Amino acid sequence: MNTATFHSIPPVRVALVPAMADLYRKHRPELPDQFAGHWQTMLEPLWGEAADVTTTSVVHTASDLSSAIAAVEQAGAACLCLLLMTYTPSGELLPPLLRTRLPLLLLSSAWDATLPYDMTAEHLLRNQAMHGVMDLTNALRRHERPFVVLAGHPSQPEFGVRLQAALCAAAGARAMQSARIGRVGEFPGMLDFTFSEKSKDSALGFEVIPLPPESLVQAALDADVDDLAAERAWASGLFQRVPDMTAEELDAGLRISLALRRMVLENNLNGVGMSFLSLLEAGAESLPFLGASRLMAEGVAYAGEGDILTPLLQTALRHTCGATGFTEWFCPDYARNEILLSHMGECNLELAHPGRPLLLRARKFAWGNCRRVPVAVFQMRPGPVTLVSISEAPPRVPGAFQLLGVRGDLLEAPEHVRLEVPYSRLRLPGGLPDFVESYSRHGGTHHAALVYGNALPALRQMTQYLGLAMQELTA
C-alpha cells in the first residue's frame, strides 16, 4: 500500500517594503518610525506559516527603493510586497520597479478600519495611501509592468486569507522565473512545446540546461553498487512486484533511473524534460520511467518528450498548491464522457491511490531496442483536480506564454488489468466533445500539469504577477 505523504507548500520569502513620501519625513520626521511600527503590529498576525517576512527600512525616494530591492534580491526574496503607508509619488517608485523582475504585490490598506464622522486631519493623514496606490498602478500599467494589488483592512478576516494566497501565487511566479529545467533530448516534429528564446527571456527568464543523452547512458553504466542496492530495497519496500520481471530488467531500469536523479542533483535542477527516443538512440538498455516517477514524488518536476514547459509549470504549482504531477490527455471515452490520463510510464508516486495496488511491472517497449522497462502501475487517488497546460502564446494574445486551466474529477475506476502504465480516468463538468473542441481551439497542449483541488484562483494571480495570458475552460 502506498504510504507517501503530500509535500507541504514551502514558506514564501517575502520582502515587505514600507513607503512614505519624502515630503512627510521632512516636515514630520517622527512619522516614518511611527507608521512602520503600527503596520508591523497590524500585519504580523496575518503572515502565518505561509511567509518568511523581512521588513526593510522605510523608503522615500527612488534611491531608497533601489537599495532596498538590491538587498532583498541578494537575500533571495520571492515576492516584493510594497506597502504605501501614506501617499507616495509614483515617480519615485516606478523606475526601480521597472528594473526588477521580482513579483510585485501592492498592499492598498488604511490605518483605521473605519473613518469617524468627527475625523481630524490626523485621520486624513493616516488613511490616504489609497490614492498613491492608484497613482502607481496607473503608471505600472502604462509601462506594462505586471503586478497584483490587494485591498482591504487587516482587521477583516478575508484580508489575511487573500494575503496568504497572493504570497503563494507570488512564490509560484518567482519559481517560474528562476527555475532550472533540464532537457534530455527532444521529440522531432512535436511542436506544441516549442518556444522562442525571445519569449522565454522577455516573459520569464528561466534556464534550460541541456543534458546529453549519451551522458545519461554512461552514468547508468557507472552506477554505484551500493546505490543500486539501496534502490532495490526502496522498490522492494514500496511496490508489489509482478513475478515475471527479471533481476536484470529491474537493475537496468534502476541504474538509468539513478543516473537521471544524479544528473538532476548535480545540475541543481527544479525539473526535467526527457525524450525516450533520444535515450534509445544513445544506446540506453532501459528507460528511467521509475526514476521520473520517484523524482516527482520528491518534488522535482518532470515531463516526457523533452517538454520543459510542463515541468516549469509544475514547479510553480508546487509552490502555490502543493504536490503536482505530469500527465497526458491520452484517450477519450466518449460513451462514458471520460478521458483516460496516462503516458509512457511516468506518474508522481506521491499521488497514488492509497487504497489501490501499487504494482511494479516490466513493460515491453515497442518503440525502440531495449529491455522490458520497469514501470510503476497505479491509479491516482480520486477527487477534484485542476489540469493546466502552458504554451507560447500567439502574437495576438497578451504575454509571451499562455496558460489554459480546466477543473474535473479523477474517478474511482475499476482496475485496468491489462495496462502496463500508470493511468486514471477523468470526468469533466460538461460534455467531452465540447471540451475537446474548446481545448483544441484555445491552443491547449497534449501534456498537462495536474494538481488536486481548485488551482484556478492561484493561477490567475500567478499569471497577473508575470503578465501572462490565462484562460479557464468550463467545458
Could you read off the pLDDT of 437-470 as tens digits, one per residue?
Answer: 999 999 999 999 999 999 999 999 999 999 999 9
Dihedral of CA atoms 387, 466, 151, 15 in degrees, nearest 10, equals 110
Distance, in Å, from the CA atom of 14 to the CA atom of 12, rounded to the nearest integer, reads 6
* % of the chain surpassing 70 pLDDT: 98
Q: What is the pLDDT of residues 168-196, one digit of tens each?
A: 999 999 999 999 999 999 999 999 999 99
Residue 330 has pLDDT above 50, yes or no: yes
> How high is the pLDDT of residue 70?
98
User: How do beta strands 324-333 and 447-452 pair?
Assistant: antiparallel
All cell numbers assigned to 98? 521597472
Average pLDDT, stretch 80-95? 97
Asked if 89 and 129 count as a contact pair (C-beta separation under 8 A), the reply is no
Q: Which residue has the cell 522615500?
A: 60
Distance, in Å, from the CA atom of 462 to the CA atom of 354, rounded to the nearest integer, reads 31
> How high is the pLDDT of residue 336?
97
> How high is the pLDDT of residue 31?
96
CATH class of 12-177: alpha beta
For the beta carbon of residue 358, count every other beta carbon within 10 angstroms: 20
Asked if 329 and 299 count as a contact pair (C-beta separation under 8 A), the reply is no
Of the candidates 475, 419, 466, 470, the one whose C-alpha atom is nearest the C-alpha of residue 175 is 466
Q: Does domain 179-473 have CATH number 3.40.50.9100?
A: no
Helices (H) and strands (E) in the chain, counts: 16, 19
Residues sharing a CB contact under 8 Å with residue 50, sequence separation 6 or more, in sequence order: 9, 11, 12, 164, 167, 168
Position 5 confidence tier, pLDDT thresholds 50, 70, 90: very low
Of the candidates 351, 332, 314, 345, the one whose C-alpha atom is nearest the C-alpha of residue 448 is 314
Name the residue ranges covered by the structural domains of the chain: 12-177, 179-473
Position 49 confidence tier, pLDDT thresholds 50, 70, 90: confident
Residues sharing a CB contact under 8 Å with residue 132, sequence separation 6 or more, in sequence order: 21, 84, 86, 87, 88, 89, 90
| Backbone region of residue 327 per phi and psi (left: phi > 0; alpha: psi in -120 to 50; beta: other values) | beta
Q: What is the pLDDT of residues 126-139, one digit of tens each?
A: 999 999 999 999 99
Across-strand partners of 403? 390, 470
Position 7 confidence tier, pLDDT thresholds 50, 70, 90: very low
All cell numbers assigned to 136? 502607481
Of the candidates 290, 219, 223, 222, the one whose C-alpha atom is nearest the C-alpha of residue 250 is 290
